[in-house]
């Protein structure tokens, strides 16, 4: 089963809706609560990053066999230094984004912590694709 979500970069007030909607899908399927929690945290953080840093994009969430795969795509500015971006506390969030409660620099480290695999493909000026896998 694949679910597709449009992640609008225009309206920050609806940021987080895709992850809560997919969480409800997993609950209905009777997926283990611990797995749902990990998926929800990782998906929420990646969704927010796509919206606030990537300017919006899309997410594909697939439940298939023994794993859940989440793919986030945007055509934003890209991430010039991935090692730096992965460090706890590193953030380029603007004052406006920080006022909304984002920008602690903990999203990517937490995504890494709560997933079984994380892959980021990014090119400055072109965009970013984040692929996450959580084993069932």
Q: Which is nearer to ligand ATP, 25 or 78 (CB)?
A: 78
Shortest spacing between CB 45 and Mg ion, in angstroms: 5
Does 12 bind ligand ATP (CB under 6 A)? Our answer is no
What are the φ and ψ backbone dihedral angles of 31, each rounded to 5 degrees? Answer: -65, 145
Contact 93, 52 (CB under 8 A): yes
Q: Which of 39, 59, 79, 132 binds ligand ATP (CB under 6 A)?
A: 79
Shortest spacing between CB 108 and ligand ATP, in angstroms: 3
Instruction: Please state, in angstroms and rounded to a whole number, the distance separating the CA atoms of residues 58 and 70.
Output: 10
Q: At what angle do helices 17-28 and 33-52 cross, to 10 degrees?
A: 160
Contact letters (x/-) for ligand ATP, 83-122, by CB under 6 A? --x----xxxx--------xxxxxxx--------------
25 touches which of Mg ion, ligand ATP, none (CB within 5 to 8 A by kind)?
Answer: none
Instruction: Please state, in angstroms and rounded to a whole number, the distance separating the CA atoms of residues 132 and 118.
Output: 5
Q: Which of 7, 19, 54, 61 binds ligand ATP (CB under 6 A)?
A: 54
Instruction: Please state, in angstroms and rounded to a whole number, the distance separating the CA atoms of residues 25 and 100.
Output: 27
């Amino acid at each position: 089963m694949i679910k597709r979500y449009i992640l609008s970069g225009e309206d920050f007030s609806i940021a987080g809706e895709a992850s809560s909607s997919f969480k409800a899908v997993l609950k209905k399927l009777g997926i283990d609560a611990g797995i749902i929690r990990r998926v929800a945290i990782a998906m929420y953080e990646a969704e927010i990053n796509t919206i606030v840093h990537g300017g919006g994009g899309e997410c594909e969430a697939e439940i298939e066999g023994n794993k859940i795969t989440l793919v986030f795509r945007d055509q934003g500015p890209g991430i010039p230094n991935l090692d730096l971006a992965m460090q706890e506390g590193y953030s380029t969030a603007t004052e406006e984004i920080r006022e909304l409660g984002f920008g602690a620099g903990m999203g990517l480290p937490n995504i890494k912590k709560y997933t079984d695999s994380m892959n980021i493909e990014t090119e400055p000026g072109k965009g970013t694709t984040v692929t996450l896998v959580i084993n069932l």
